[in-house]
Amino acid sequence: MDERPPGQRRELWVLAGALVLAMSPWFATAAVLGQLREAWDLSNAQASWLTIVVQLGFVVGAVFSSATNLADRLPPRRLMFLGATGAAAANLLVVLGNSLGVGLIARLLTGASLALVYPPALKAMSAWYRVGRGMALGVMIGALTIGSALPHLLNSLGQIDWRLVLAAVSVLTFVGGLIADRLTTDGPFVAPSATFDPAQLRAILANRDFRLASAGYFGHMWELYAMWAWIAAFYGDVFASTRWASFIAFMVISAGAAGSVYAGIMSDRRSRTDAAALAMRWSASAAVVAGFLLDAPLPIVVGIGLVWGFWVVADSAQFSAIVTEVVDRRYVGTALTMQLAAGFVLTVFTIFLVPVVRDAYGWGWAFFMLAPGPMLGAWAMRALRIGPKTVVEPEPVPEPVFFSPFF
């Protein structure tokens, strides 16, 4: 079968556009947190839980999907539609409930629903790409990144009431699911549908390459979502204007879209592990210094944020690409969901700890705390690269020049 089937590029951009919209509820409440603090009289801990419960909900949804092999039993685009519809409804429930109690339940349901969007989107795109899969999944992670940042952009437009922001996000989410279901098709490299088989969970966990790829992913997740969740609050302490803080937060998070594509192209030309390790070394370097530059000149504060945003998510697609290439292709969806579920458990701790450390010691040490994660992940990528099995054979293309940070 042709390694580059007709319609491949169209499917990539349509599905990426759908994912931008479908993933927009993730940080919807973080984008309007200032208004919610006043409306609901929230403490710092309560504000943190509005994001933490999304992570927990994602874990619940991912574990359910993994335990039932749901990601391998339904077409990915149909699963994306169901998940996006559920996320849109749950996000709207925050507006209708208009209280912390209902808001927490709604955010939990939002996360559970998004677990039916993100992993199936990666599986759907893997079914279209054998050659260039790293680039393709990089585009998908870039789409997720922009979607996660989208509420910050809406909030930067002016003093829009938080209810309207969340309602708009719900509409965008539903439209994204609809696009995935109606305007995309199954790829020619799609794996056959699988029946429920608990033994596959053990087989996946016994795979050394899967375990090392997951170790890298866990280090990446220790840093990523805490940075995304609190970067707007950080810039809120830098800028007097809430609108500017939201806009810069949008730009910093969105920079990861370019980073994801760059690392994806690098992974196809060199190796998945080299691309992931490079990204994690750079993001760890940025985490070490970013918070200590709070009082530096604005161009420096914004610049280091853009560097961090570019690299902090650039490695994400590579862990998924490795999994799609080292496990039984009939259970790729289950393996991806298992990896994602475990990784999102880790995010709960750092999302909670960042404001605690910030209040006690300042932003510098709060962000510094995130650096060990990507440093550990870079070590796992080295172990995987020098292991007995080569994950990816590089394509025969000219070697580009890539740069590396100081360690």
Q: pLDDT band at residue 13, thresholds of 50, 70 and 90?
A: very high
Do residues 355 and 230 lie in contact, with contact meaning Cβ atoms separated by under 8 Å? yes
Q: Is the pLDDT of residue 296 over 80?
A: yes
- Asked if residue 321 belongs to a domain, the reply is yes
- Asked if residue 392 belongs to a domain, the reply is no
| pLDDT of amino acid 191 | 58
Q: pLDDT band at residue 187, thresholds of 50, 70 and 90?
A: confident
Q: Is the pLDDT of residue 394 over 80?
A: no
Q: Is the pLDDT of residue 57 over 70?
A: yes
Which of 340, 272, 280 lies closest to 310 in space, CA to CA? 280
| pLDDT of amino acid 391 | 43
- Asked if residue 397 belongs to a domain, the reply is no
- Looking up tokens 């880790």 gives 346
Domain that holds residue 105: 8-192+203-385
- Asked if residue 198 belongs to a domain, the reply is no
- Asked if residue 34 belongs to a domain, the reply is yes
Q: Is the pLDDT of residue 262 over 50?
A: yes
Cα separation, 389 vs 407, in Å, equals 26
- Asked if residue 404 belongs to a domain, the reply is no
Tell me the two tokens of residue 189. 């490299």
| pLDDT of amino acid 64 | 84
Between 48 and 158, name the one with better pLDDT.
48
What's the pLDDT tens digit per position in 215-230?
999 999 999 999 999 9
Sign of the dihedral through C-alpha 143, 147, 149, 154: positive
User: What's the mean pLDDT in 277-297?
Assistant: 96
23: amino acid identity, one letter: M
Output the average pLDDT for the chain: 87
Sign of the dihedral through C-alpha 255, 256, 257, 261: positive
Tell me the two tokens of residue 379. 């070590």
Cα separation, 348 vs 70, in Å, equals 24
Length of the chain: 407
Q: pLDDT band at residue 134, thresholds of 50, 70 and 90?
A: confident
User: What's the mean pLDDT in 267-287?
Assistant: 94
Pick from 117-131, 235-249, 275-289: least confident: 117-131
Q: What is the largest CA-CA distance in the chain?
A: 60
Do residues 71 and 337 lie in contact, with contact meaning Cβ atoms separated by under 8 Å? yes
Please state, as a whole number, how many other Cβ atoms lie within 10 Å of the Cβ of residue 9: 12
Tell me the two tokens of residue 373. 């994660």
User: What's the mean pLDDT in 231-248?
Assistant: 92
| pLDDT of amino acid 198 | 62
C-alpha separations of 24 from 19, 20, 87, 192, 230 in Å? 8, 7, 9, 30, 17
Cα separation, 219 vs 343, in Å, equals 8
User: What's the mean pLDDT in 221-248?
Assistant: 93
CATH code assigned at 80:
1.20.1250.20
Cα separation, 22 vs 114, in Å, equals 8
| pLDDT of amino acid 218 | 95
| pLDDT of amino acid 399 | 40
Q: Which residues contact 206 (CB under 8 A, 6 or more apart)?
A: none
- The C-alpha angle 286, 313, 316, rounded to 5 degrees, equals 135
User: What's the mean pLDDT in 98-117?
Assistant: 95
Which of 307, 65, 110 lies closest to 299 in space, CA to CA? 307
- Asked if residue 340 belongs to a domain, the reply is yes
**How much of the chain is helix, strand and coil, in % rounded to 5?**
75, 0, 25
Please state, as a whole number, how many other Cβ atoms lie within 10 Å of the Cβ of residue 14: 16
User: What's the mean pLDDT in 146-155?
Assistant: 92
Pick from 65-69, 112-116, 119-123, 257-261: least confident: 65-69
Burial class (CB in 10 A: 0-12, 13-18, 19+), 229: buried
User: What's the mean pLDDT in 288-299?
Assistant: 95
Q: pLDDT band at residue 240, thresholds of 50, 70 and 90?
A: confident
- Asked if residue 393 belongs to a domain, the reply is no
Phi, psi of 81 (to 5 degrees): -65, -45
C-alpha separations of 18 from 5, 12, 24, 175 in Å? 21, 10, 10, 8
User: What's the mean pLDDT in 81-94?
Assistant: 97
Between 43 and 340, name the one with better pLDDT.
43
What's the pLDDT tens digit per position in 351-380?
999 999 999 999 999 999 999 999 999 999
Cα separation, 287 vs 350, in Å, equals 13
User: What's the mean pLDDT in 78-86?
Assistant: 95
Percent of the chain with pLDDT over 70: 90
Q: pLDDT band at residue 7, thresholds of 50, 70 and 90?
A: confident
DSSP string, 165-191: HHHHHHHHHHHHHHHHHHH----TTPP
The total number of structural domains that make up the chain: 1
| pLDDT of amino acid 389 | 45
Pick from 314-318, 335-339, 340-344: least confident: 335-339
Cα separation, 346 vs 367, in Å, equals 16
